[in-house]
Structure 1
Amino acid sequence: MFWVLFLLTAWAGALLSCARLLRAASDGAEPAPGGATAHHYDELNLYEAAYLAGGPRRVAELTLLSMERQRRLLLTHTGWATVLDPVGRDPLERSVLGAFGPDGQSPVESVRTAAAGDEAVRALADRLGAAGLAVPEDARAGISAGVDAVRGASALTVALAAASFAVPTGGTTPTLVLCWFALPLILTLGCLGIARFESHPYSSWASPAGQRLLTALDRERGRSEPLAAIAVRGVRAVGDPDLRAAMSCGNRGTVPRQRGY
C-alpha cells in the first residue's frame, strides 16, 4: 500500500499550495491602509491608467507612443527610435529621453526597458499604491508565488500517480488508484481555474478599486481617444501597423533610414 503514502503526499501538497494562493489573493484584494475609498475614472491620468492596466512596461510604451504622436520621437517598423525633440515635458518623458544614446537613437526595447525601471515609474506606483488603486509589489509577488506553488503541486500529483504504479498496490485496481489521485489534481486545477477566472480583466497590477476605474475609463474614453485605448489595452490598440511593429521588435534591428511624416 505504498501508493497510499504517495496519495497523502499529493494531498498535502495540494492543500498547502491552494491555501497559500488563497491567502495571497486575499491579501492582494485588501485595500491599502489609509487609501481613499471612492474614486472617479476622470481622476486618473493616462500614465496612471497605463500602470494599473499593464505595469511599468505599459507606462513606458504609452510615453513612447504619446511622444511619437506629437512628432517628438520617430519610431520605425525596424524597432528603432530616434529623438526629434530632446526636451522632456514631465518626469516620464525625461526618463524615456535619458534612455537614448548620445546620438539620439536606440532600439525601442532598450528604451522601454530602461524607462520602465526609472524612478519616475516607481514614484507613480507608490502614489497609486498609497491611494489604494494598485496592488502592492509584495502582494503581487505572493500571488505569483502561490500560482507557481499550485502548478508545482499539480505536477507533483501527476508524478506521484505515475510512481504509484511502480510499487505494490495491494490488489487495488489501477483505475481506482487513478481515481484517488484525480481528486487532489482536480483541486489544484480547479484552484488555478478559479484564480484565472477571478483575475482582473486587464492585469494583476490594479486593485479592485483600480479595476473599476479602468473599466469605466475604457468604456467612456477607450473608443474615442487612441492614447486612452493604448493605456488600457496596450500595443494591440495601436492602429498603425508600422508602430505596432516598432513596439513589437526586440533589441536587434536595422538602423532605420530617416523619414518624415
Structure 2
Amino acid sequence: MWVLLLIPACAAAAFSCLQLVRVATRADLLDGFGPRPPEAVGIGLYETAYLAGGPGRVVELALVLMAGRGRLHLAHTGWTTVVDPRGRSRLERALIEQIGPEGQCRTGPLRASLAAHPTVREIGDRLARAGLATPETVRRDTSRAVRQVRMALLLCVLLLAASLALAAPGTGDASAAIAWFSLPLILTCGTLLMARVDVHTYTRFAAPAGLEVLRTARVPRQLGHTRDPEQALLTAVAMVGPAALTDERLRAALRT
C-alpha cells in the first residue's frame, strides 16, 4: 500500500526540483550579461530604495519626502491628503494622480496602486537592464519554484507518515517505506540547500551588482548630527524603510 504513496511523493519531488533548476539556469544566463557601472545608470534615492526594498520602498520614500516638505499630510488614521498639488517629478505627479481629484484617499490602497504604477515599474526595469536589479519575472519565477520544492518536501513528509501508519507491524514495511521515502526527502532537502546558497539572491530586488551599490550607501548613525539631516533621513528610509523614521506619528501613518 505504501508504494502507491511513494509514487506521487517521488513525482512531486522530481518535478519541483527540475523546475527550480530550470529557473536557476535561466537566471544565471541573464546574470551573465555584464552590468553597466552605477555612474552610467544614475543611482539616486529612488533607485536605492528600489534595490533595497522594491516598489513598495520607493512608494514609502516618496510619501516621506513629500510629507517632510509639506506637500502631503499623512494622518495616523490612514488617510493621505494633498497639500500642494504641484508634483516636482514624474513620481510625485503620479502619486498625486493616484490620490484622485478629491485630494484625499486611504494610504493603504494608495501605496498598492502606486507600487504598480508604470512610473515606479520603470525604475525597476531600468535597473534590471543595467544589471543592478533582478528582473521581475526571474524573481517571481524563482520564488514560486522555491515554494514548490518546499511544498513537495512537506508532501513527502505527510505521505511518509501515512505510509508508516498503514504499514503492517512485523512485516518490515515500515523500514522499507523509510528507506524509499528517503530518496525524495534527500532530493528536496538537497535542492533547498542548493537554493539557499546559489538561488536565494535571485529572490531579492537587488542583483549581486546592485547589492554592491547598496553597500556603498551610508546611513549615518545619528541623523541629527549630519550636515544635511533631510538627505540623511531620506537615505535611511530608502535603505531600511519607515523603521528609520524618528517621528512616531509618521511611522504610524505608514503602518496603516
Which TM bucket (shorter chain)? 0.7 to 0.9
Task: Specify every segment of 5 or more residues in structure 2 that has no aligned partner in the other structure, as ranges.
Answer: 224-231
Structure 1 stretch displaced more, 24-33 or 66-75: 24-33
- Structure 2 residue 172 is the aligned partner of structure 1 residue 172: yes
> What is the CA–CA distance in structure 2 between the aligned matches of 1:135 and 1:212, rounded to whole Å?
13
- Structure 2 residue 54 is the aligned partner of structure 1 residue 55: yes
RMSD: 2.9
**CA deviation map 1:144-177 (0-9, x unaligned):** 2201211221122022113313255881153663
Report matched runs for 1:121-160 at 5 Å: 121-160=120-159
Partner of 2:243: 236
SS of 1:98's equivalent in the other structure is helix
SS of 1:106's equivalent in the other structure is strand
Alignment check: 8 A CA contact 1:56 1:117 kept = yes
Alignment check: 8 A CA contact 1:32 1:130 kept = no
Partner of 2:234: 227
SS of 2:73's equivalent in the other structure is strand
> What is the CA–CA distance in structure 2 between the aligned matches of 1:115 and 1:100, rounded to whole Å?
9
Alignment check: 8 A CA contact 2:133 2:205 kept = yes
Sequence identity of aligned pairs in percent?
A: 42
> What is the CA–CA distance in structure 2 between the aligned matches of 1:193 and 1:79, rounded to whole Å?
41
Q: Could you tell me how far 1:209 is from its partner in structure 2? A: 0.9
**CA deviation map 1:109-160 (0-9, x unaligned):** 1221121111111221221111111111221121022012112211220221
Partner of 1:80: 79
> What is the CA–CA distance in structure 2 between the aligned matches of 1:178 and 1:207, rounded to whole Å?
40
Q: 1:85–1:29: structure 2 CA closer, same or farther, 3 Å change rule?
A: farther
Alignment check: 8 A CA contact 2:53 2:205 kept = yes
Alignment check: 8 A CA contact 1:200 1:211 kept = no
Q: 1:135–1:190: structure 2 CA closer, same or farther, 3 Å change rule?
A: same
Aligned residue pair count: 245
> What is the CA–CA distance in structure 2 between the aligned matches of 1:69 and 1:152, rounded to whole Å?
45
> What is the CA–CA distance in structure 1 between the aligned matches of 2:239 and 2:25, rounded to whole Å?
24
